Amino acid sequence: MNGDVAWQRYRERHMEPDLPPCSGQGRNYRHVVVIPAYAESPQLLSSLARLTPAVLVILVLNCPETATATRPNDAMRDALESHGLLEQLGPHCALRALPAGSALLVYDLERARGPSPADQGVGLARKVGCDIACLWFAAGCIESSWILNTDADAILPASCFERLRQLPGNAAAAVLPFYHTPCETPLTTRVTALYELRLHYYVLGLEFARSPYAYHSLGSCLAVSARHYVRVRGFPKRAAGEDFHLLNKLRKTGPIIRLAGSCITLESRLSARVPFGTGPAATRLALATAPDDTPLFYHPDCFRALRAVLETVAKAPLDDSLPGPVSPQEQWAGILQRWGLDNKLAEASAEALADLGLHGALQHCRRQSNDDPGFRRHFEQWFDALRSLRFIHLLRSAGWAELTLAESLQSTPLLWPAAGTDHQLLRDAIHKHWGWTLPSASPDD
C-alpha cells in the first residue's frame, strides 16, 4: 500500500490531521475493527473480550457539539482505566490490552479537538478511526486489508472475519447480515423490528429492479477494502448517512458484496445520537398511536418503474426523426409504456428522469464510451444509489405514496418473500432468502 499512488494522495490531501502514528515494537494483528463511541455504556468493553484473537479494535470517543448531557464519555473513560496500558501513543491516544493477543486503541477525539461540528458527527468519528487503521495497515501491522466498521451496541459473530478473508480481490466493500435483538421493552422491540423490515424492503425493491446498488447501508455492518477506501477519499464527514454515501462511492470502484451467514446482532434501542437512522426512526414510531399502521414502505410501483428505466431507457436511442416537437421526455414515456408501465406511471417516471437531468447524462455517457458495456458502466455510475433514491422520492411525490406494512403485503408486485404481517416471520423469510442465520443457530459461532 505504501507504493500506491492513491494512498500517497490520500495521506497528503485527505487524511485527518494530527493522528497518532502507528506503533512499532513488532506488534501485528490479523484484523481491525473501528467503533465510534458517544455516551456508550462500558458494557461494550466486556463484549470486545469475546472477539477472535489478534484483533486491533480502534475506539473513537466523540461528542457532537449539540450534546445536552454533561461529560457523556466519562463512564467509558473510567472503565478503560481497568484495561492494562500497553503503550501511550500520544496525548489523547493509548493502546490497551484485550484478551487473546488483541488490543484496544482508544483515540479520544473529543479531548483532542473538542466537540465535533454538528454537521460532521459520526461520519467524522468513523473517518478518524478508518484513517488510523490505514496508517497501521500501511505500516504492515495488520494482515487483513479489510476494515470492519461497527457500532458499540453490536455483537460480532466469530465467523465474520473469515468471511471477509474469502472475499474476491476486486471487492470494494462488504455488507454483513444483521439482526436487532429483543429488549426488555416490548414496544421498543416491536418498532425496531418494524423499521428493520423497512430497511429490508428497500433492498428487496432494489433487488427486484435489478439495481447494482441493492445492498443495505448500515455503518454497524460495513467492511471496506483499505485500498478502495482511500480511492474515494474516505468516509464523508456527515452527521448521518455517511455509510450510504461511502458505499455509493465505493460501488463505482468495485463490487459491494452482500454476505450470507451469521448475523451481527444489534440492540433494539431508541436513540437520538444521529439526526436520522434506526434509533431516531424507532423513537418516532414508538410515539405513534399505531406503529404498524404508519406508512413506511415505498410503493412497489416505484421499484417497477425503476426496473423499467434500468432495462430500457439507457438502451433505447432517441429518435430525432419523429415528426413534430417530440421531446426526450415524451419519448421516454413511450419507451416505458412499451415496457409495460401504465400511461400515468410512465409519464411520471419520464418527468422524474427529466428532473434528474437524464438527457444530458445520456449524451455524456455516449461521448465517454467506446462500446455498449462501457456505456452501461458510465450510465450505472451516473444513475447511482443516490439518484435511484431521488427517482423513487419523485414518484412518491407524484402520487405513489408510502404504504403500511399490511398494504405492502397486498400490493403488486409483491416484494416480500413471504406473506403475513408478523414481524418475526417476515424477518425469518428474509433471512432464508439471503442466506442469513442468527448466531444461536449458526454452527460456526
What tens digit of pLDDT does each residue of 4-47 get?
899 999 999 999 999 998 875 667 899 999 999 999 888 888 88
Residue 322 confidence (pLDDT) above 60: no
What tens digit of pLDDT does each residue of 182-204 get?
988 899 899 999 999 999 999 99
Per-residue model confidence (pLDDT) at position 279:
66
Per-residue model confidence (pLDDT) at position 25:
63
- Dihedral sign for Cα 47, 51, 53, 55, please: negative
Side-chain half-sphere CA neighbours of 43 within 13 A: 7
Side-chain half-sphere CA neighbours of 3 within 13 A: 0
Question: What's the mean per-residue pLDDT of the chain?
Answer: 90
Per-residue model confidence (pLDDT) at position 11:
93
State mean pLDDT over 420-434.
95
140-154, 217-231, 279-293: range with lowest mean pLDDT = 279-293
Q: Do residues 316 and 288 make contact, with C-beta atoms less than 8 angstroms apart?
A: no
Per-residue model confidence (pLDDT) at position 443:
44
Per-residue model confidence (pLDDT) at position 269:
75
Per-residue model confidence (pLDDT) at position 270:
67
Q: pLDDT band at residue 323, thresholds of 50, 70 and 90?
A: very low
3-7, 242-246, 413-417, 430-434: range with lowest mean pLDDT = 3-7
Higher confidence at residue 281 or residue 110?
110
Residue 114 confidence (pLDDT) above 60: yes
The set of cell numbers assigned to 379 is 450510465
Q: pLDDT band at residue 68, thresholds of 50, 70 and 90?
A: confident
Per-residue model confidence (pLDDT) at position 442:
47
Higher confidence at residue 313 or residue 253?
253
Q: pLDDT band at residue 77, thresholds of 50, 70 and 90?
A: very high
Side-chain half-sphere CA neighbours of 200 within 13 A: 28
What tens digit of pLDDT does each residue of 353-402 get?
999 999 899 989 989 888 888 889 999 999 999 999 999 999 999 999 99
Per-residue model confidence (pLDDT) at position 439:
77
State mean pLDDT over 261-266.
95
Per-residue model confidence (pLDDT) at position 2:
63
113-117, 246-250, 281-285: range with lowest mean pLDDT = 281-285
13-27, 88-102, 136-150, 232-246: range with lowest mean pLDDT = 13-27
Per-residue model confidence (pLDDT) at position 435:
97
What predicted TM-score, i.e. pTM, was given to this entire model? 0.93
Higher confidence at residue 146 or residue 284?
146
26-30, 207-211, 342-346, 416-420: range with lowest mean pLDDT = 26-30
Residue 96 confidence (pLDDT) above 60: yes
Per-residue model confidence (pLDDT) at position 347:
97
Per-residue model confidence (pLDDT) at position 45:
87
39-43, 138-142, 326-330: range with lowest mean pLDDT = 326-330
Residue 256 to residue 174: CA distance in whole angstroms: 5
HEC string of the chain? CCCCHHHHHHHHHCCCCCCCCCCCCCCCECEEEEEEECCCCCHHHHHHCCCCCCEEEEEEECCECCCCCCCCCHHHHHHHCCCCEEEEEECCEEEEECCCCCEEEEEEHHHHHCCECCCCHHHHHHHHHHHHHHHHHHCCCECCCEEEECCCCCECCCCHHHHHHCCCCCCCEEECCEEEECCCCHHHHHHHHHHHHHHHHHHHHHHHCCCCCCCCCCHHHEEEEHHHHHHCCCCCCCCCCHHHHHHHHHCCCCCEEECCEECEEEECCCCCCCCCCHHHHHHHHHHCCCHHHCCCECCHHHHHHHHHHHHHHCCCCCCCCCCCCCCHHHHHHHHHHHHCCCHHHHHHHHHHHHHHCHHHHHHHHHHCCCCHHHHHHHHHHHCCHHHHHHHHHHHHHCCCCCECHHHHHHCCCCCCCCCCCCHHHHHHHHHHHHCEECHHHCCCC
Q: pLDDT band at residue 321, thresholds of 50, 70 and 90?
A: very low
Per-residue model confidence (pLDDT) at position 339:
94
- Give me the percent of the chain exceeding a pLDDT of 90: 72
